[in-house]
Chains A and B, each alone.
Chain A
Amino acid sequence: SQQGEEDPQALSIQEGENATMNCSYKTSINNLQWYRQNSGRGLVHLILIRSNEREKHSGRLRVTLDTSKKSSSLLITASRAADTASYFCATDQISSGSARQLTFGSGTQLTVLP
């Protein structure tokens, strides 16, 4: 079963615009992570936000976490064509113990048009 569900499933924007993707999850977490996957490639870790954090920045990325609503958002500012990829949220659930298993959502396909 999918712990995280991204919204929207697909997003198409113009270069320079901001892109916002949302993730909802069901059970208590240690942290939530965002990954990027370019077509035909492996996943690349973008950013991790812990359950006691509300917002985190990394370059053009901003992640927020609302544990009361069990949701997170990923904002990519000033998007570029190179940002075209699938973006996945992944939750490290408290129930996984020390194994640090991640449960992935089904992803948002972002297309940035030049």
Chain B
Amino acid sequence: NAGVTQTPKFRVLKTGQSMTLLCAQDMNHEYMYWYRQDPGMGLRLIHYSVGEGTTAKGEVPDGYNVSRLKKQNFLLGLESAAPSQTSVYFCASSFVGSGGQFFGPGTRLTVL
């Protein structure tokens, strides 16, 4: 049982390049989330999904897109990376209803 995994762990992009971050969970969770964490700050929600085929915007969605084609996977895309998107990205998942979220190990992204 791997829990929540994220690919890749590190990535360096040039401004304007695109990339996709992959999140996978093997706990059959309905809800999945993408956050970013910047130095000295808590996590801010980018997008989330309450089930396969659904997505919704969080607090800071601009510049990102997401897809949830399979229940176990949640993809985060950057179409045209900007230096302001340099951050650590965390994926999380949870059961339906109240309860804690399970987090992946994070992806450290640098945009030059």
Contact = CB atoms under 8 A, between A and B. Distances in A.
Interface stretch (A12-20, A39-47, A60-68): A39-47
Contacts of A50: 98
Interface of A: 1-2, 4, 30-31, 33, 35, 40-45, 48, 50, 88, 90, 92, 98-107
B45 interface: yes
A90 B56 CA distance: 20
A40 B37 CA distance: 11
Contacts of B31: 99-100
B105 A98 contact: no
Given A41-B106, A42-B106, A107-B42, 20 more contacts: A2-B41, A4-B42, A31-B98, A45-B100, A45-B101, A48-B99, A50-B98, A88-B42, A92-B98, A99-B31, A100-B31, A100-B94, A100-B99, A101-B48, A102-B45, A102-B101, A103-B59, A105-B42, A106-B42, A107-B41
A99 B50 contact: yes
B45 A101 contact: yes
Nearest to A99: B50
Interface residues of B, number: 28
A90 B44 CA distance: 11
A4 to B, nearest CB: 8
B27 interface: no
Contacts of A31: 98
Interface string B91-106: 0101001111111111
30 contacts: A2-B42, A30-B98, A33-B100, A35-B100, A40-B106, A41-B105, A41-B106, A42-B90, A42-B103, A42-B105, A42-B106, A43-B90, A43-B92, A43-B103, A44-B103, A45-B102, A50-B98, A88-B43, A92-B98, A98-B50, A100-B31, A100-B97, A101-B58, A102-B101, A103-B45, A104-B42, A104-B43, A105-B42, A106-B41, A106-B42
